[in-house]
Structure 1
């Protein structure tokens, strides 16, 4: 038993499709803007301090070797 798709169905389908596409565009733009802001903030912050690494000539030999 087949059913036919009524004009009312196609109207609602078209409205929902346009709304979904619009909402997708708006949310994508909002999240892209948020991501760009976070990346800029991270790029402008000061880098973490680097730990001190002694050079080869800085350390002494053990008395037991």
Structure 2
């Protein structure tokens, strides 16, 4: 004995599917934003910045390895 899936079922299914996808996207973005904020607070600029090397105009680059 099988049951047929009515148009009412498919309408509710589509609405619930769209709501679930929307909620997932919103919650993922919120959690991702919080994680980035916490990581920035915990590790502020831990990478050392490399000093900018000045190039002398009278120095030529060697072509031999």
Q: TM-score range by the shorter chain?
A: 0.5 to 0.7
Q: How many residues of Structure 1 are paired with residues of Structure 2 in the alignment?
A: 45
Match of 1:37 in 2: 37
Match of 2:13 in 1: 13
Q: Give the TM-score taking structure 2 as reference length.
A: 0.67
Runs of 4 or more, structure 1, over 4 Å off, are: none
Which structure's residues are more often helix, by fraction? Answer: 1
Q: Is structure 2 residue 5 aligned with structure 1 residue 2?
A: no
Q: Which runs of 5+ in 1 are unaligned?
A: 46-65
Q: Give the TM-score taking structure 1 as reference length.
A: 0.67
TM superposition shift of 1:44: 2.0
